[in-house]
Structure 1
Amino acid sequence: MKQSIIRYTLTAACLLGCAAQNFAQEKKTAFNHVALSVYDLQKSASFYEHVLQLDTIPEPFKIGKHKWFEIGPGLALHLVNDATEIIEHRRNTHVCFSVASMDEIVARLNKFGVVYYNVQQEVGKVGTRVDGVKQLYIQDPDGYWIEINNERMER
């Protein structure tokens, strides 16, 4: 009897500990989306859909001022049509997308006439980081900088 009570108590403590851990992880801050203010929603949406080949996802507002794209499992890019002008952005403030093939993305950029740079800002050049990852930089229609690389992130 005494061993049963101890066994049940330990089992309950383990279950409670697991539940508490899951509850705590649900309460952690997690990245959800990034929103960019754009001047011409259709032009920007076309860029992200056709050049970067991001998939659109439903957006709840349905007022013609937003376009949403999936950028990873449970992650989104929101384009918001509210910019009154296109302003200059610094390259060090950028988003980054990883691709399977740099050759394919370079071919697509060339097809769409998108200028790309390496980190030294040499036009039409792909750079290689010290860790061997290839990378390039482009700008979207609103001048936001985007890094594209072939880094494989282990999850």
Structure 2
Amino acid sequence: MNIFLNLSTHKAGRLKWAILLAAFILPGFCQAQTATDAAPIVDHIAICVHDLKKSTAFYTEVMHLQKVPNPFADTLHQWYSLGNHVKLHAIQGNCSYKHDITEHLCFAVGSVKEFAKRLDELHIPYGNWKGDSKEPTLRPDGVLQLYFQDPDGYWIEINSPAKGK
């Protein structure tokens, strides 16, 4: 306790004390400002599925998503990594709504054509936004895209970047 009293009684000591306080207080203040001013980031996207085993097979075998630990430790939930700390959370339940193509998950791949070959091998129908079977869409910006549905009817877009980008 004497050390702190001695620091505060001398001019140089007060300066050291102020620097010490600033070193502990300012980082927390700056971090709090960043946390409250920053836009929220996506943690996970939850979907309702009828058959969790069927969905798990689809997302691991077709989409090659990696399963991540299930915080519920039960048989009604499955979590998958979507990259960058974002997860897909599949919840088994009584899902009773129809899915529209305008509501879709989009995944980027190196080659839409190679991914389409895998869908063909697995007999999974796919097409473009208009619904033309096996026909990808070429956007005006050069991105190639195709659409298909998971076992519960959720629409999935697969796209690959424009050449040269």
Normalised by the length of structure 2, the TM-score is 0.77
Instruction: Please report how far the alpha carbon of residue 31 of structure 1 lies from its aligned counterpart in structure 2 after TM superposition.
Output: 1.0
Alignment of 1:1-155 (within 5 A): 20-27=29-36, 28-85=39-96, 87-151=97-161
Identity %: 34
Partner-residue secondary structure (3-state), 2:113: helix
1 or 2 for the larger relative contact order (CA 8 Å, sep ≥6)?
A: 1
**Structure 2 Cα separation of the partners of residues 149 and 21 of structure 1:** 39
Larger radius of gyration: 2
Unaligned residue ranges in structure 2 (runs of 5+):
1-13
Residues paired across the two proteins, number: 151
Q: Deviations over 1:39-92 (max 9, x none)?
A: 01111111111111111101111220011000012100000001255x421110
**Structure 2 Cα separation of the partners of residues 16 and 104 of structure 1:** 54
Instruction: Please report how far the alpha carbon of residue 13 of structure 1 lies from its aligned counterpart in structure 2 after TM superposition.
Output: 7.5
* CA gap 1:17/1:118 in 2 versus in 1, 3 angstroms: farther
**Structure 1 Cα separation of the partners of residues 86 and 95 of structure 2:** 27
Unaligned residue ranges in structure 1 (runs of 5+):
none
RMSD (CA atoms)? 2.8
Instruction: Please report how far the alpha carbon of residue 130 of structure 1 lies from its aligned counterpart in structure 2 after TM superposition.
Output: 0.6
**Structure 1 Cα separation of the partners of residues 131 and 161 of structure 2:** 20
